[in-house]
A and B are shown apart, each in its own frame.
Chain A
Amino acid sequence: MAALQRFGLPVFAAVMLALPALPLPDFWITQLNYIGLYAIVSLGLVLLTGVAGLTSFGQAAFVGVGAYTAAFLATKMGVSPWITLFVGVGLSVLVALVLGAITLRMSGHYLPLATIAWGLTIYYTMSNMEWLGKYDGILGVPPITLGGISLGSGRGIYVLIWLFALAGAVAVTHLLDSRPGRAIRALKTGTTMAEAMGISTLRYKIIAFVLAAVLASVSGWLFAHFQRTVNPSPFGLNKGIEYLFMAVLGGVGHVWGAFVGAGVVKLIEDQLQVLLPKLIGTSGNFEIIVFGLVLVAVLKYAPNGLWTFVTGWLPRRDRVRNWADAPRLPARDKPVRGTPLLEVDAVRKEFGGLVAVNDVSFNMNAGDIYGLIGPNGAGKSTTFNLITGVLSLTRGQVRFAGQRIDGLPSRAIARRGMSRTFQHVKMIPEMTVLENVALGGYLRSSSGAVRAMLRLDRAEEKQLFAEAEAQLQRIGMAEQMHELAGNLALGPQRLMEIARALCTDPSLLLLDEPAAGLRHKEKQALAAVLRQLKAEGLSILLVEHDMDFVMGLVDRIVVMEFGTRLIEGTPQEVQASPAVRAAYLGTEH
């Protein structure tokens, strides 16, 4: 089994590339050409839909951009195909950037809506432009030549198509297992956590969309030189939907699902186009009935697609631990113990008429552990969200290490050395514990998508994993690092969040109910860890309900009730305060 996983890809690639040398009928070579072309487009949708949780119905339009650019420049202006490839890709990137920048700031469904409009627009433009040949399209596209060899035959272009398809698959696989890849994988579960780790989610949404557009455009370029003619019909909205269907059917979220989906759809489509008209008695586009039904059925009963039936058979392999001697990531200078670290000055949050946080102020010094306590609904988590920039302030100021941070987005605050966990654990369940924690190291590393696809990021990856493992070790979770995060119990998930926050190398750590869901022993272990962190000079602000846990740990406590600060003091002062007792236990009348 392990051998299959290790050698699966090289063997598959070798077989696919060797096929045209075998006496295979031309018909099958043509089929495989189409499958390769479709797989390249679906690969983009795997990245966009399966991984990033966005979608596009306009991929066929990007294919059209690539194909028409190639055909027009080659026939009308005699430009070499190797140049038109880049022109087509450039145009697609431009369109994707514009569409992405406009729609991706808003909720996720505006991108698909915009791509529907884009798909229709480009289709009608191609169909009506005199210089693009209207509905007839452009005929007589020259073949691609490579070193004097013409790739005009089906077998000739086959090799090129499959080289691009396999290279695309490898590049996307590499990307998904990298710093930018983890950022893209974080998009699907919402943006709050990723932003708190310093990731610009808009940037990665746009990157995913642009990459999908590039893949589609390359497929279009190959398509034009394979068919040797282009016309608008294969680039319509229906085809765009069909590409999405391939990705969903094959297993959106799995690179090889794109190939499975493209293959199954192409082969079944051919069968249906022969079979259905015979069955029904008239000719027509009846296969879309089956496609539609299968699409709905897949989403209902097998939302992870066909490829999961394959991966279900394969054992999951632990990541090879090759980072033992990696140099440590650079660490920031910590503020000097006793200097002012966090100054919260009359912060206020109103939701409509409700004042959730009412002019709360407190100051904390570097090296302290502060506890924020109060009954349910007192506004503790909201205060946290105001400090970390997850929510915007209605009024008030927050200074961190002397600088104003109110009004900054949470990723800018993270960059200044503040890191946090969440009351409801936010993680990527299908990534391992180690990978989730490595997400915290995002701001301490720099590799981008292109470096990742070319595997130029491996040295930095080792550093990231070494750091992630070190933080897991610190929190006592090193032996669970290869576990899928979604398989952990709630307690360990919370600990994993702390490790992820530590991985950002913070000078202030904000923990939102870290002990909730932990067993007694685990709580004691956590308290020990927090004390050790304090000894190492880290400052901690925590929200917690467990009084024993808080009282034995913190230096000072802020008590909140109904959005206002009730009292601030040492644990002893707070315990002695009649106001606090009244807040928690009620008063006698």
Chain B
Amino acid sequence: MDLSIASILALDGATNGAIYALLALATVLVFAVTRVIFIPQGEFVAFGALTLAVLQLGQVPGTVWFLLVLAGAAAIGELVQGLRHRRAAKRIALQLLRVLAYPVAISLVTIWAAPKNFPLLVQALLTLALVTPFGPLIYRLAYESLADATVLVLLIVSVGVHFTLTGLGLFFFGAEGFRNPSFWDARFNVGPLTFSGQTLIIFMASVALIISLWLFFERSLYGKALRATAVNRLGARLMGISSDSAGRLTFTMAAFIGALSGLLIGPTTTVFYDSGFLIGLKGFVAAVFAGLASYPQALLGALVVGLLESFGSFWASAFKEVIVFSSIIPVLLWRSLTDPHGEEH
């Protein structure tokens, strides 16, 4: 290996690392606020990439029907709960409207817009608008009534959600893989390196998202409310911060970040209905590097994962997954030696 290959690999690793970083941030965020270890984070990535791919073909993506199914299930849940608590019909209707309005509206917009072949950027925004509501709906359906369960139960639920979403992904998107067109075809040569426009977009989008997350948590009341919930759920609740709405907001952000990652990664690799799992798990490894707690460490971990992967695939391409996933073991060893007391929540 010479320097030019090394620098190409490093660029490649850093590019993927930037995407893993986004997923790692989402994982840390979800765990901190809701204590859910959100295995299905990667599913949003696949849904994002596939939705855009189908829109590119001028067809209505399966995401629409998928979203309507979830919204319908959530509405039925609300209805049952409303009837059980003998709430007034008007209040139940209002609640149903609140659950259904946005998913139905965005679905109608998509059905209208799909055959019109709008520019790529418009379709990308539509994809984000379509995948993001998956987050709060999944939280509502799977986790909300279990908010006080142990981390272990929530983790097993996550695995169940992952199974369901993968299976439904196959149903709604089919087994075919897609590769999206690049957002920006320009190329820049810097020494031995060739930056593609897509690489730059990935870096810029990641940095922009990280900065806006930072601003959100530091400057906005909602962000501070989420941080408060992460530190002490009961305390936050006593201050009037509903842990349900904190959970929904967190999952909304997680789904948005996942969908965005899907848009970014779509042009660099072929995405299938189940590709999200491995991509998400790499973000996950980065989050574990950070002990599921520290955002800066998660960024660093994501970069390491990206580099491990790119150099790993150069040296032993068949074993790149083995290298990436077994790297978690020495990290855990180091964590357990430096801070063994993480007992009893």
| Interface contact A282-B152, CB-CB below 8 Å | no
| Interface contact A117-B328, CB-CB below 8 Å | yes
- Measured in the bound complex, the distance between the Cα atoms of B328 and A99 in whole Å is 11
- Measured in the bound complex, the distance between the Cα atoms of B284 and A116 in whole Å is 11
In the bound complex, residues from chain B placing their C-beta under 8 Å from that of A124 are 318-319, 321-322, 325
In the bound complex, residues from chain A placing their C-beta under 8 Å from that of B164 are 288-289, 292-293, 296
- Give B93 Cβ to nearest chain A Cβ, in Å: 26
- Cross-interface CB contact of B336 among A102, A108, A128, cutoff 8 Å: A102
Interface pick from B12-20, B52-60, B170-178: B170-178
Annotate B164-184 by CB proximity to A: 1 below 8 A, 0 otherwise.
111110110011000000000
- Measured in the bound complex, the distance between the Cα atoms of B156 and A112 in whole Å is 10
| Interface contact A284-B335, CB-CB below 8 Å | no
- Measured in the bound complex, the distance between the Cα atoms of B36 and A299 in whole Å is 14
In the bound complex, residues from chain A placing their C-beta under 8 Å from that of B329 are 98-99, 102, 114, 117-118
Residues 149-199 (chain B) with a chain A CB within 8 angstroms: 149-153, 155-157, 159-168, 170-171, 174-175
- Give A388 Cβ to nearest chain B Cβ, in Å: 16
| Interface contact A295-B326, CB-CB below 8 Å | no
| Interface contact B326-A128, CB-CB below 8 Å | no
In the bound complex, residues from chain A placing their C-beta under 8 Å from that of B284 are 113, 116
Given the known inter-chain contacts A105-B336, A109-B152, A117-B328, please indicate yes or no for A300 contacting B163, CB distance below 8 A: no
| Interface contact B37-A109, CB-CB below 8 Å | yes
| Interface contact B159-A295, CB-CB below 8 Å | yes
A227 on the interface (CB 8 Å rule)?
Answer: no
Given the known inter-chain contacts A191-B343, A288-B166, A292-B161, please indicate yes or no for A244 contacting B156, CB distance below 8 A: yes
A55 on the interface (CB 8 Å rule)?
Answer: yes
- Give B76 Cβ to nearest chain A Cβ, in Å: 14
In the bound complex, residues from chain A placing their C-beta under 8 Å from that of B328 are 113-114, 117
A261 on the interface (CB 8 Å rule)?
Answer: no
Residue of A nearest to B274 (CB): A285
| Interface contact A288-B167, CB-CB below 8 Å | yes
Give 29 pairs: A residue, B residue, CB < 8 Å, sorted on A. A55-B156, A98-B329, A106-B332, A106-B340, A108-B151, A109-B155, A110-B332, A113-B37, A113-B284, A113-B328, A117-B325, A120-B281, A121-B326, A124-B322, A128-B318, A128-B319, A128-B322, A190-B344, A238-B163, A244-B156, A244-B159, A282-B174, A282-B175, A288-B163, A289-B167, A291-B160, A292-B161, A295-B156, A299-B156
**20 additional contacts (CB under 8 A) given A113-B37, A294-B160:** A103-B332, A105-B340, A106-B336, A107-B342, A109-B152, A110-B336, A113-B332, A114-B329, A116-B284, A124-B325, A190-B344, A280-B171, A285-B167, A285-B170, A286-B171, A287-B167, A289-B167, A289-B168, A292-B162, A295-B157
- Contact surface of B with A, Cβ cutoff 8 Å: 37, 39, 142, 145-146, 149-153, 155-157, 159-168, 170-171, 174-175, 281, 284-285, 288, 292, 318-319, 321-322, 325-326, 328-329, 332-333, 335-336, 339-340, 342-345
- Contact surface of A with B, Cβ cutoff 8 Å: 49, 53-55, 57, 98-99, 102-103, 105-110, 112-114, 116-118, 120-121, 124-125, 128, 190-192, 238, 241, 244-245, 248, 280, 282, 284-296, 299-300, 303
